[in-house]
Amino acid sequence: MNTQVRYYVSRKNPLTWLSALMAVGAFVLQILALCFGEAGLLSTANVWFQKVLPMAVALGFAEIVLVRGPKEFYRSSKPVFWACVYFAQIALDWHLRFKADPSLIATVGGAYSLFAYARYVAVCWILYLVFYVVYRLYITGKFRHVFVLNIITLLPVAILAYDFAAECSRIPTYELFDKLSNVLLAAALCTATLAMRAFCDGKYHRTWGDRADGRRLRTLDPMNLVAGYIMPDRNDACNSIQDTIEIGAVERYIHKKRAEGLEDFGLMHVFLAAYVRCVAKYPGLNRFFSGQRVHQRDDDIAFTMTVKKEMRVDGPETTIKLHLSPSDTAEDVYRKLNAVIEEVKNTPLDSSFDRVAGLLASIPGLLLKFVVWCLKVADYFGKLPRFLTELSPFHGSVIFTSMGSLGIPPIVHHLYNFGNLPVFVAFGRKYRKTELEPDGTPVTRRYVDFCMNLDERTVDGFYYATALKYFRKIMRAPSQLDNPPDEIVRDID
């Protein structure tokens, strides 16, 4: 996987603390400007744009530098954007003042008189936009020469400091605080870029566009991007395949594992362990589509399954979610899965998922429809709270269902439009089939049918076909699941 460079700021670096201190200082100076009489001179709109906005930017930047900087410094581009909006509004405000009272040009003089001309205001807006775009590209790893960013962020500090030095002797106190606040705000940004360091641990680090449950893939073929808009719903992009597997080797393997002490080791454990091994070799199986983009879960294989607490028609059922790793063996899968199932079966009270479902069910129908719409919108933008995606059976890598325990063939199950589950696997009961060998000898073999529903927007049909062939190969020699895979393939960036 070709990783792009990602940056962080360390709390062990004095420049990081200096940057945060400057940002807090800019916040304090804005308050002092209000206290010394500027509030009465501003309209309501200007109070929000020229006071509340820069104070929020200053505190937000300080919080990101100190709290999120070690892992998510890329978020600092958001305060930078609003700082550009703040300075653009100042330019527009001066232009409107000069337009209303041209005599102010002679009174103010200096650089501010340039804002009397609309073209200079337009140029300022363009420069602020370019500044933000360049900063965003650097902070998300598109550009690598950080010293250029240091120079770019130093320029507004020099301009604002020069303006402050030129005007400080003839401006009122409140405006003095206001200008000094702007200098400190720009200096905080410049100092933070001096404290930036690139991650060198070889791991993937989150950036814009990534979700809490997966990273966005950015080097896919353009057709993958277009397909998401042509087929916006998961059921539109649903492909189904039905196949049959001869389970002679699997049954011998199951008997062997039970003899080793793995009670209740069964076909479900082998199916799931084989799927995990396929993900280790073909990581595209662990992708999902959400928000018109393809994402990758990497080492987290989120397995979802519905479990009946009692095998009765009216028996209660609940949903479990199991987190597996591409390096897991069949025994790892057995122990993890059985631990979760036993916990659910032995719990007399409802699970967390049951309680959330009960809470939603208690909401009146019309309001519930609105709540679900809000959840879908939040999920589209990747803003659904992590605890909800953890509880949700609709968010995961794959959902398995066993029809064998019910004694029926595999069901052709749809994919859910809500959530991001890309694969639904169902397998049916075991059955015998008598076949003839090439020499005419009759042989009875045992088979299991299974059905897979797949989201074709994550990978193409050739990829799924190749992975399915590998799955069948594993099922013919399941003893290889006793050991971790020789290699775990990483997905593209």
**pLDDT above 80 (res 95):** no
CA 32, 37, 42, 45 torsion-angle sign: positive
Residue 316 near residue 331, CB atoms below 8 Å: no
- Residues contacting 45, CB < 8 A, separation 6+: none
Residue 4: burial class (beta carbons within 10 Å; 0-12, 13-18, 19+): middle
User: To the nearest 5 percent, what fractions of the chain are helix, strand and coil?
Assistant: 55, 15, 30
Q: Does 173 or 390 have the greater pLDDT score?
A: 390
Length of the chain: 493
Segment 75-82 shows an average pLDDT of 95
What integer pLDDT is reported at residue 1 of this predicted model? 43
**pLDDT above 50 (res 211):** yes
CA atoms within 13 A on the CB side of 160: 20
Helical segments of 322-460, H only: 330-345, 352-361, 365-380, 386-391
Residue 169: burial class (beta carbons within 10 Å; 0-12, 13-18, 19+): exposed
Q: Tell me the pLDDT band of 143, cut-offs 50, 70 and 90.
A: confident
Segment 203-224 shows an average pLDDT of 87
Segment 152-168 shows an average pLDDT of 89
Q: Does 224 or 280 have the greater pLDDT score?
A: 280
Instruction: Say which residue the tokens 């793995």 belong to.
Output: 262
**pLDDT above 60 (res 154):** yes
Task: Choose from 92-96, 353-357, 408-412 the range with maximum mean pLDDT.
Answer: 408-412
Structure pTM? 0.81
CA dist 383 and 376 (Å) reads 10
How confident is the prediction for the chain on average, in pLDDT? 87
The strand pairing partners of 243, in sequence order, are: 450
Task: Choose from 153-157, 359-363, 434-438 the range with maximum mean pLDDT.
Answer: 153-157
| Tens digit of each residue's pLDDT (9 = 90 or more) over 6-64 | 899 999 999 999 999 999 999 999 998 888 765 556 677 778 888 899 999 999 999 99
Residue 224 near residue 294, CB atoms below 8 Å: yes
**pLDDT above 60 (res 300):** yes
| Tens digit of each residue's pLDDT (9 = 90 or more) over 385-442 | 888 888 888 999 999 888 877 788 898 888 999 999 999 999 998 999 888 888 888 8
In percent, the amount of the chain with pLDDT more than 90 equals 51
